[in-house]
Amino acid sequence: MQKYQIDFDNKIVLCFYEGNAEKEILEMLLENKKLKFTEDDLYDKEFKERVSVKTVEKKYLSLSFDKPVIILRVIDSKKEKFNLSKLYKNRFKEIYVCRTAPEIEYLLIMYHHDEDIFNKERSHSQIRACQFCKKYYGYSKTATDEYFKKNLPIKELLEVLRKYDNIHSDEYTIYSLVKD
């Protein structure tokens, strides 16, 4: 995929997130005015939990809009299909933001500069990033206690997002949504 600049000017942003960590990171960026769009640009002024394409079409896309709509999907899977039906395919712009592999928790590993330790453990025991973060940083995937906000300052968050983006320069990442 050829990565290009995303134009958010005069658009409605319908942004879906995968889990609590993705939502928290997006909210941190929004609160600190680091995104290329504002809360007013967001559909209903909020990020939406990921749902099926049929639900998106029925609940959101069947409405009429006074501006073009961009669909953002902040997920980790590159293979997940999200094919709009013929009725909607040409009317809406879809952008995938595949932000971290293996998981969003990898940003915490990068922040702590523990990539080598993680990769070594992963090669021996098949440990996942969320398990590694729980073991070493006390992070729980199901936590809703603002873990990222408390443990990853915005400046450092931006640095790890940029670092991840540089590694994955051929795909959209959360950093693709960050304004210069």
Tracing tokens 């995937």 back to the chain, one arrives at 141
Structure tokens of 46?
């909020």
- Domain boundaries of the chain, sorted by first residue: 12-100+153-177
Whether residue 88 contacts residue 57, with contact meaning beta carbons closer than 8 Å, is answered with: yes
As a whole number of angstroms, the distance between CA 17 and CA 92 comes to 18
Structure tokens of 45?
């002024």
pLDDT in tens, the chain (180 residues): 456 778 899 999 999 998 888 999 999 999 999 999 999 999 999 999 999 999 999 999 988 899 999 999 998 877 778 889 998 988 888 777 866 777 888 999 999 999 999 999 999 998 999 899 999 998 887 766 788 888 899 999 999 999 999 988 788 889 999 997
Whether residue 31 contacts residue 38, with contact meaning beta carbons closer than 8 Å, is answered with: no
As a whole number of angstroms, the distance between CA 155 and CA 176 comes to 16
pLDDT at 82: 86
In total, the chain counts a number of residues equal to 180
* Sequence-ordered list of residues with C-beta below 8 angstroms from that of 179, at least 6 positions apart, any chain: 34, 35, 36
* Sequence-ordered list of residues with C-beta below 8 angstroms from that of 124, at least 6 positions apart, any chain: none
Helical segments of 19-172, H only: 20-31, 53-56, 86-89, 106-111, 115-125, 129-137, 147-151, 154-167
pLDDT at 95: 79
As a whole number of angstroms, the distance between CA 132 and CA 128 comes to 6
pLDDT at 153: 93
pLDDT at 69: 92
